[in-house]
Structure 1
Amino acid sequence: MSKRPRDAAVDAARKSAPTYTALGAKGLLKKYYLNGDAGGGGVYLWESEAAARAWYTPEWEKRIATAFGATPTVTYYDNHVVVDNEAGKVRIEGES
């Protein structure tokens, strides 16, 4: 598998972006589209693991596998600390 050209990656992201914009109402805070030699993917920041798990259902997995010809892999990570240089803050879970 080879890396998609930039324009193809951007075009694909633009087409799917409305889906992820709409997920803001269901707890999706950010999605980072990834494009690399190993293929494409994304990093998703959800307000909670429960919100993420509500989206990543067996039905979702089947849709993605059908659309892309590969079973997706979802890995959950705890995110206790965020360095947000745009906002000039270090955010620590549970602290204001």
Structure 2
Amino acid sequence: MDKKTEEFYERLKEELRTTSSWPTLYLYKFIVPTDQSKIIAVENAFDNMGAVINTTQSKTGKFTSISVNVPMESPEHVVEKYLEVSTIEGIISL
């Protein structure tokens, strides 16, 4: 992980520590190219976690937005999930 990315996640963890009480529901938002295998990969990352997942295809159908509302234990767990899904080709975390 490069230094800029590492600093971003450290700031995110600190912000989450100060703005939320843990455990809490956390809302992830991603955009992926519309490819069933990529959508399933995101869904699988949150499997068996009690997540509520909504997907919406863009007007052109090229991209799909994925919202995942899921109970998370700590800011560290939130960042771990971001890092886990970041390996999916073409994914954008919002």
TM > 0.5 fold call: no
**Larger RCO of the pair (alpha carbons < 8 Å, separation 6+):** 2
What TM-score results when the alignment is normalised by the length of structure 2? Answer: 0.37
- Please identify the structure whose Cα radius of gyration is greater: 1
